[in-house]
């Protein structure tokens, strides 16, 4: 599927793209594969002692090789397979917008996965491009681009409709990785989408729901609208 596909029905399907971190993960996975045979050969004749309960036990050292390979390849595979298959992240038609997580938890995973977010345009206030604070490999701080939907019924907090000026300018991040300047429901109504796909989303939205803006909230203190790409003359 091309990155942005408008079917005959008028629906636009947008897939995510490989990012820098995805290429890094792929490079690490390939390096691990190349190193694995040397690891197995190095520990093939050794044993590993460990304690289970009150008994001391031993296991062949070569077992460490396959364990490292499996643990090292599972995460990159889970991240890269959806990208390689060009799985749809956003579907837009005249009635609604639907966002799909990298790993859908319902529906038919291959052909009709369940949408993480499904909203009618009449209920949408704006779309937001933002960054989620994450830890790469569990310990390296980083940011993950997200596309979120803010509905007309959403509030900033449980008893607060809009953020204060101080909150709007804040660069602090909540424990769940969401910037303080964004509403408490933002993470639940967002999916990962590379910033390079934002203009395609803006173009699709402009065709069917021109009143809905796509706002760039990646930096505190500025919220410019993202416009569709200009057609070259």
Sequence-separated contacts (24+) of 158-161 with Cβ below 8 Å: 158/184
What is the pTM for the complete model shown?
Answer: 0.73
Is the Cβ–Cβ distance between 103 and 78 less than 8 Å? yes
Cα separation, 161 vs 148, in Å, equals 18
SS3 119: strand
The share of the chain scoring above pLDDT 90, in percent, equals: 48
- Do β-strands 124-136 and 213-216 pair in parallel, antiparallel, or remain unpaired? parallel
Q: What DSSP character marks residue 67?
A: H
Is the Cβ–Cβ distance between 99 and 174 less than 8 Å? no
E strand or H helix at 124: strand 124-136
Each residue of 174-230: pLDDT tens digit? 999 999 999 999 999 999 999 999 999 999 999 999 999 999 999 998 899 999 987
Average pLDDT over residues 106-116: 60
Where along the chain do its domains lie? 4-16+87-216, 24-83
Residue 186 phi, psi (nearest 5): -60, -45
| Among 131, 104, 129, CA closest to 116 | 104
Each residue of 20-41: pLDDT tens digit? 666 776 777 777 777 767 766 6
């Amino acid at each position: 599927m091309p990155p942005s596909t408008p079917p005959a029905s008028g629906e636009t399907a947008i897939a995510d793209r490989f990012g820098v971190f995805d290429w890094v993960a792929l490079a690490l996975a390939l390096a691990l594969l190349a190193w694995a045979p040397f690891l197995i050969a190095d520990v093939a004749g050794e044993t590993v002692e460990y304690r289970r309960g009150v008994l001391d036990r031993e296991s062949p050292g070569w077992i460490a090789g396959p364990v490292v390979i499996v643990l090292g390849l599972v995460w990159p595979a889970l991240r890269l397979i959806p990208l390689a298959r060009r799985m749809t992240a956003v579907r837009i038609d005249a009635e609604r917008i639907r966002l799909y997580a990298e790993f859908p938890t319902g529906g038919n995973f291959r052909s009709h996965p369940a949408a993480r977010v499904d909203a009618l345009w009449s209920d949408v206030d704006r779309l937001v491009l933002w960054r989620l604070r994450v830890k790469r490999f569990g310990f390296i701080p980083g940011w993950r681009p997200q596309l979120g939907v803010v509905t007309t019924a959403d509030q900033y907090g449980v008893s607060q409709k809009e953020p204060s000026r101080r909150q709007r300018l804040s660069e602090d991040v909540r424990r769940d990785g969401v910037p303080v300047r964004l509403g408490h429901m933002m993470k639940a109504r967002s999916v990962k989408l590379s910033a390079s796909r934002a203009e395609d989303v803006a173009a699709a939205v402009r065709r069917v729901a021109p009143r809905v803006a796509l706002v760039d909230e990646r930096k505190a203190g500025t919220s410019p609208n993202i416009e569709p790409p200009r057609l070259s003359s």
